[in-house]
Structure 1
Amino acid sequence: MRIKSTFAVAGLLAMMAPAAQAGGYVAPVQEAPVVVAPIAEPVSDWAGGYAGGWIGYAFGADDEVGFDLYEDSNLIGRQNDITNLDVSGLNGGLHLGYRWQRGSWVFGPELTIEGGDISDEQGGSGIVDGDAVSIALESKVNYIAGVQMKAGLVVNPKTMVYGTAGYVHGDFDYILSGSTNGEDESATEGYTANGYSLGAGVERKLNERWSMFAEWQYRNFGKTDVTFSDDNVDLVTRATPEHHNLKLGVNFAF
């Protein structure tokens, strides 16, 4: 009886073996990981017209003053290194521009006009031929107008860094004043000069219309002779107006 039971169990196991192999353990299927591509941050729109205003501070000018003395158009005297004029002061301006955009690059022209209190006055005194003499010379910026090209790179949707290069036209005054034995005299000579500008800045969007910017600009107006005339006597000095300007302002996009 035991022998038959043993064969029966063995036969049952033999019959189950194929079934176990057919429908038994199945290795799990490993799915490949899903790679999600990063979503590119959109580049904001900087194109179109805009207008703005700013306040600034001018500094860093160095105008070395000297005089040539002419009588009947003949040079009779020369004095160099009398003093240095370092014009500086607060100013402000307005501008109007247009920008095109190609991807992250932004470029376009800008017209500017500015004025303020940019000036310096230097002087001295002494005894000349027994007379007490004092003299003072003032250099003053009346206004500056210009056009510049701006090219910028959008570094994130709200921020652009840029550089500038342009043409500037300035209107200036040279004021010569003095006294001899207590008698005061003064003469003002106005002149204009053309030059170039270079700059760099950063602009940050506040919303779709408004933005703020900070900018540095250098302006150089070359050399201009300024003449103070009295009858047949001419006193000539060479003006070399140049300075740096720091600006902080806002733009409004149309």
Structure 2
Amino acid sequence: MMKILLIATGAVSLAGLAHAGGFTTPVVEAAPVQPADTAPVPDWSGAYAGGNLNYGAGKAVATGDFGKSLAADGLNRNLAKPDGGALGLRAGYDWQFGRVVAGLGGEYSLGQYKSGLAGVYKGEYPGAEVKFGNVATVYTRAGYAFADNWMAYGLLGYSRADGKASGYGGSDSKTLDGLTMGLGVGYAFDRNWSAYGEYTYTDFGTIAGPSGDVKAELKQFQVGLNYRF
């Protein structure tokens, strides 16, 4: 009799559950999918000003008939290689479009690159000196913020400088100007401060010298620091 009562009670309980809607499968909620983190794009936009330390290596090379006459005599056409260190001041403004950065700027180099004469003239005029100084450049640049706080860029501009040769019974001064091209890389410490390394090449073209035409050029290697406002 007891078994019959237990079976009947179980049947009633099952019937009650069925009447209430039956058994339900528990629902397991999936954790929300988090979007993958994307690296923040550094902000290179705005006005900036700063300075740099640079090393300049120039060259004055005989060209045209002057160069041909030296070559015909078996002489080196390199007349001088003015070089040295200088301090540069720089300011500009950048615009940013995603990771692409474009800007305008200007720089002035406080210093002179100088050397004595080379080649055939070195022995004839031991006290002579060639100088490139007061180099001023206006430029446009375009770059790409390729990783975290890094940017690589190319530079195109126009430079002007004072050129002077002296010590051979007088002196001769010329205004040098020409196209400047360069490559650089910048690193932003934060929104305001950034550092950069840069290489530029300036072709000053052909200059009429006392002995004939001379081609002048200048390479500059710079390490600098900028403050962005």
For the criterion TM > 0.5, the same-fold answer is yes
Work out whether 1:93 is the aligned partner of 2:91. no
Work out whether 1:160 is the aligned partner of 2:151. yes
Within the candidate set 166, 173, 176, 2:164 is matched to 173
Match of 1:242 in 2: 217
How far apart, CA to CA, are the structure 2 residues paired with 1:53 and 1:249?
Answer: 6
Higher helix proportion, which one? 2
Within the candidate set 107, 124, 132, 1:134 is matched to 124
Structure 2, unmatched stretches of 5+, are none
How far apart, CA to CA, are the structure 2 residues paired with 1:176 and 1:67?
Answer: 24
Structure 1, unmatched stretches of 5+, are 70-76, 127-132, 178-185, 228-235
Match of 1:251 in 2: 226
What TM-score do the two structures reach when normalised by structure 2? 0.78
| 1:37-88 deviation per Cα after TM superposition (whole angstroms, max 9, x unaligned) | 23544434332222211111123x443347979xxxxxxx944434523332
What TM-score do the two structures reach when normalised by structure 1? 0.72
Q: Select the structure of larger CA radius of gyration.
A: 1
How far apart, CA to CA, are the structure 1 residues paired with 2:226 and 2:19?
Answer: 77
Deviation of 1:190 (Å): 0.9
Structure 1 runs (4+) deviating above 6 angstroms are 66-69
Match of 1:220 in 2: 203
Within the candidate set 24, 32, 35, 1:34 is matched to 32
How far apart, CA to CA, are the structure 1 residues paired with 2:117 and 2:16?
Answer: 111
Contact kept, 8 Å, 1:113 with 1:143, in 2: the verdict is: yes
Identity %: 26
Higher strand proportion, which one? 1
- Opposite residue 60 of structure 2, the aligned amino acid is D
Contact kept, 8 Å, 2:196 with 2:225, in 1: the verdict is: yes
Distance 1:25-1:194 versus aligned 2 partners, 3 A rule: same
Which SS does the other structure have where 1:223 is aligned? strand
Distance 1:18-1:91 versus aligned 2 partners, 3 A rule: same
Deviation of 1:27 (Å): 2.2
Work out whether 1:57 is the aligned partner of 2:47. no
Distance 1:7-1:78 versus aligned 2 partners, 3 A rule: closer
Distance 1:247-1:27 versus aligned 2 partners, 3 A rule: same
Contact kept, 8 Å, 1:115 with 1:141, in 2: the verdict is: no
Count, aligned residues: 221
